Chain A
Amino acid sequence: DAGVTQSPTHLIKTRGQQVTLRCSPISGHKSVSWYQQVLGQGPQFIFQYYEKEERGRGNFPDRFSARQFPNYSSELNVNALLLGDSALYLCASSLTGGGYGYTFGSGTRLTVV
């Protein structure tokens, strides 16, 4: 069975640009969450979606947005990129969200120059 898949695996962007990251959950999972992991730190919660609705949002600026599609895949968008947005962006899927049963993808490594 395929796990959580994220694309692209690596990405280099320039300050001020916009980026879209993609995530496909495990088949049957209806919840997707996004986390940002800065080098040397633990992942920080950005968003959670369940059945295409936003269930939670972390302490991130409005430059960060996300959505979930009818097939439960998800996109994370970041506008007006800053150097500090350089990080590993992780997607996790679960059956229903709510803090249980998460499986993480391998992430997208974003470098802002």
Chain B
Amino acid sequence: GESVGLHLPTLSVQEGDNSIINCAYSNSASDYFIWYKQESGKGPQFIIDIRSNMDKRQGQRVTVLLNKTVKHLSLQIAATQPGDSAVYFCAASTDKLIFGTGTRLQVFP
């Protein structure tokens, strides 16, 4: 079955720097991927998504890159702010969501 893994459990960045969070998936049949942000005490919040027929998608300060050859996703956050501090999950979507283990992003001044 599908599995999703994140490369680093914790990422520490300085305010204003760019952040890159990576994720790998196993099932080539997955055609839709989503990045979620989860703050303490809250449920996952949608950030950005990408379909398998795309390589890149941009939102406000966020970019998702998809490399289907190596089954790898990344989330780039530009000009990271203290409010970006949270746990970030990638999820592969089939008929349900399959989540990775999450990367905690810590932003320091």
Contact = CB atoms under 8 A, between A and B. Distances in A.
Interface of A: 4, 33, 35, 40-45, 48, 55-56, 58, 90, 92, 97-100, 102-107
A1 to B, nearest CB: 15
Q: Specify which of B36, B46, B89, B99 lies most central, judged by the most chain A CB atoms within 10 Å of its CB.
A: B99
Given A103-B46, A106-B41, A48 B100 contact: no
Contacts, number: 56
A99 B94 contact: yes
A99 B32 contact: yes
A56 to B, nearest CB: 6
Interface in B74-109: 89, 91, 93-102
B43 A106 contact: yes
Interface string B37-74: 00001111110000000000000000000000000000
Contact of B98 (A45, A105, A107): A45
B44 A104 contact: yes
A45 B43 contact: no
Given A99-B32, A100-B32, A103-B46, A43 B97 contact: yes
B99 A43 contact: yes
Contact of B100 (A42, A97, A99): A42
A4 B43 CA distance: 10
Contacts of B4: 42
Nearest to B102: A42
Contact of B96 (A4, A41, A58, A104): A58
Contacts of A99: 32, 93-97
A44 B3 CA distance: 11
A85 to B, nearest CB: 19
Contacts of A97: 95
A98 B31 CA distance: 12
Q: Specify which of B32, B95, B96 lies most central, judged by the most chain A CB atoms within 10 Å of its CB.
A: B96
A45 B42 contact: no
A33 B96 contact: yes
A105 B44 CA distance: 8
